[in-house]
């Protein structure tokens, strides 16, 4: 960078990606299905909130979807640190962990763009 700061003055700021509301439903349903197939306790608060979030998205209720999303804890000892069980013979522990981590990250980042949190 030069002393004039030319580079910083004319640099464009990154824009948030446009993610439509309808893209959130299949992503949420996929995360829910993966959790249920790989041993997450079905009556847990996280699963109930994911189910509630799917229902709210179907009904286009942003407020309820935001509430259900907010009830799911991410971070240390949170939902995203759950170790999914290997269910199918083609899977390994590393594989299911990577898929779950990716689904959690994508869902969390997507919902933050769609729902004002």
Per-residue pLDDT reduced to its tens digit, 6-55: 544 544 544 555 566 678 899 999 999 999 999 999 999 999 999 999 99
Residue 75: both structure tokens together: 């971070």
Pinpoint the alpha helices (H) of the chain: 6-9, 21-37, 45-58, 62-70, 93-114
pLDDT in tens, 55-70: 999 998 888 998 999 9
């Amino acid at each position: 960078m030069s002393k004039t700061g030319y580079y910083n003055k004319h640099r464009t700021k990154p824009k948030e990606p446009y993610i439509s509301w309808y893209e959130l439903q299949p992503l949420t349903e996929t995360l829910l299905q993966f959790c249920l197939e790989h041993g997450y306790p079905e009556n847990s608060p996280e699963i109930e909130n994911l189910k509630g979030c799917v229902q709210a998205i179907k009904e286009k209720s942003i407020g309820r979807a935001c509430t259900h999303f907010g009830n799911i804890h991410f971070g240390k000892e949170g939902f995203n640190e759950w170790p999914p069980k290997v269910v199918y013979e083609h899977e390994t522990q590393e594989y299911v962990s990577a898929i779950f981590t990716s689904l959690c990250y994508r869902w969390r980042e997507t919902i933050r763009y769609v729902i004002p949190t």
